[in-house]
Amino acid sequence: MTYQIYNGDCIKEMKKIRDNTVDLVVTDPPYNLGNFMKNRDTNLAKMRDNFFGAAGWDNLEFEDWERSMDAFLEQTARIMKKGGSIIIFMAVIKVETIIRLAEKHGFYYKTTGIWHKLNPMPRNMNLHFVNSTESWLYFTYKTRTGTFNNEGKMLHDFIETAVTPVSERKYGKHPTQKPEQLISHFVYTLSNKGACVLDPFMGSGTTGVVCKRLDRNFIGIELDTSYYEIAKKRMEETGDEA
Ligand SMILES: C[S@@+](CC[C@H](N)C(=O)[O-])C[C@H]1O[C@@H](n2cnc3c(N)ncnc32)[C@H](O)[C@@H]1O
């Protein structure tokens, strides 16, 4: 496999990628929940040294966030091959915005699925339903079906894994790092060996690590230099185990 990772703004970097070259995008952009969480006056920032709401990269006003998602989907449509697929992780309450923008740019809406965390943080567990789910959206581009390596098995629109294990955080912490097992499910199912996979909001590089393990080529972009450095280290240290 080959990989290229960039430390910069994804819109700027995506503009340098040639048209019709990407087979699959698996990405986990900001969910636009930073201000929502602050207005709720939660004590999460005090409870966790690594709380995403305090990290500063999810603080846009809704209209600015919507514009950034629009620009990201516009660029994705330009660089994606016909028949390519995209998985976007998202907060349940923002799903409609993403579907509307993706359809505007020619994506075919397939699925809103759920990731269920088997061991979520049991915050205020005697006061409310503990938050243990995130959504993911699945679209194909200019066709109604894309690569789908289900190997004859029925795949549900629901996936359950543990949260990211400590062993995957040894190069540094990212507040919303996804587990490799979760991302592997989508990279394996929706692409073939040698495919070009892009994650424009790469964070600590989980999609890249999975691509290296599964022998897919990878392009990753991350704005924050410290997260980019974690991703770089993880990519370098991941063995070719495919
Ligand atoms: C939800 S996190 C991704 C976490 C990743 N899935 C992982 O496993 O580590 C979103 C990331 O997008 C980055 N980001 C935000 N705006 C960006 C932009 N305009 N261009 C590139 N990266 C951006 C943030 O710094 C953050 O690391």
- What was the pLDDT predicted at 131? 92
User: Residues 58, 32: contact at Cβ < 8 Å?
Assistant: yes
Measure 177 CA to ligand 1 centroid, in angstroms: 10
Measure 179 CA to ligand 1 centroid, in angstroms: 15
Q: What separation in angstroms does the CA of 125 have from each of 53, 94, 122, 182, 205?
A: 20, 24, 5, 25, 31
pLDDT of the chain, 242 residues: tens digit per residue = 999 999 999 999 999 999 999 999 999 999 998 777 766 655 565 555 566 666 677 788 999 999 999 999 999 999 999 999 999 999 999 999 999 999 999 999 999 999 999 999 998 899 999 999 999 999 999 999 999 999 999 999 999 999 999 999 999 999 999 999 999 999 999 999 999 999 999 999 999 999 999 999 999 999 999 999 999 999 999 985 44
- What was the pLDDT predicted at 225? 97
- What was the pLDDT predicted at 239? 85
Report whether residue 9 contacts ligand 1, using a CB cutoff of 6 Å: yes
Dist. CA 129–CA 90, nearest whole Å: 19
- What was the pLDDT predicted at 57? 76
- What was the pLDDT predicted at 242? 45
- Of 176, 179, 183, nearest to 162 (Cα)? 179
Side chain identity, residue 231: A
Measure 127 CA to ligand 1 centroid, in angstroms: 31
Report whether residue 23 contacts ligand 1, using a CB cutoff of 6 Å: no
From 15, 163, 222, 232, the mutation candidate for ligand 1 (largest count of ligand atoms within 8 A of CB) is 222
- What was the pLDDT predicted at 52? 60
- What was the pLDDT predicted at 55? 63
Report whether residue 70 contacts ligand 1, using a CB cutoff of 6 Å: no
Report whether residue 176 contacts ligand 1, using a CB cutoff of 6 Å: yes
Report whether residue 174 contacts ligand 1, using a CB cutoff of 6 Å: yes
Pick the CATH number of 3-237 from 3.40.250.10, 3.40.50.720, 3.30.420.40, 3.40.50.150: 3.40.50.150
Report whether residue 227 contacts ligand 1, using a CB cutoff of 6 Å: yes
Report whether residue 28 contacts ligand 1, using a CB cutoff of 6 Å: yes
Report whether residue 201 contacts ligand 1, using a CB cutoff of 6 Å: yes
